[in-house]
Amino acid sequence: MARNASTIEPAALDTVSTRELYRELLVRVGEDPNRDGLLRTPERMEKAMAFLTKGYSMDVTEVLHDALFDVDYDEMVIVKDIEFYSMCEHHMLPFFGKAHVAYVPNGKVIGLSKIPRLVDVFARRLQVQERLTRQIGDAITEAIHPQGVAVIMEAAHLCMMMRGVEKQESSTVTSAMLGVFKTQMQTRNEFLSLIRRQGSSL
């Protein structure tokens, strides 16, 4: 297929819509954005990217504000196998997997449904897995000042699977251990033991 002529001059990029930029991208990879299958692709790309990066418009305080409760409970709380999807900031390809989040309360707990929402706040941005893991732990620490927080994330990265080394079976595991999960081996081992149960791949 012959490459289509570029339709946007570099000097005009600041004034064009996102949809027009996606149309230009189709042209530059050698496609014809006027053919039937691609007519609405720029519109779909715009909507898809807005959804995949909606974490930039989400605020942790707003997500958690009505779900912080005073509770006389000081044993470990774990929400495991939280599915997440994110975008690698280096190649803008997806990485996805499961997050396991635990904390030991210090007089206050988070509504259970809010922890997966908190994961999404940071996952729905351009990310690296290492930073994503720590951001989740830091956000819980700041919200309720628990005795400790632990986050483990296991993910497959399409930037490794589709390109580069093309390793299909590899996975990446990252962890953030804060407070008692870092200082007390028994607490950390209890967390690791509990998330390994019932089919976790860890």
**Nearest 10 degrees: Cα torsion 142, 145, 147, 150:** -20
Are 55 and 125 in contact by the 8 Å Cβ rule? The answer is: yes
Helices and strands (H, E) in the chain, number of each type: 8, 7
Residues 6+ apart with CB under 8 A from 164: none
Q: What CA–CA distance (Å, rounded) separates 81 from 100?
A: 6
Residues annotated catalytic, as ranges? 88-91, 129, 157, 159
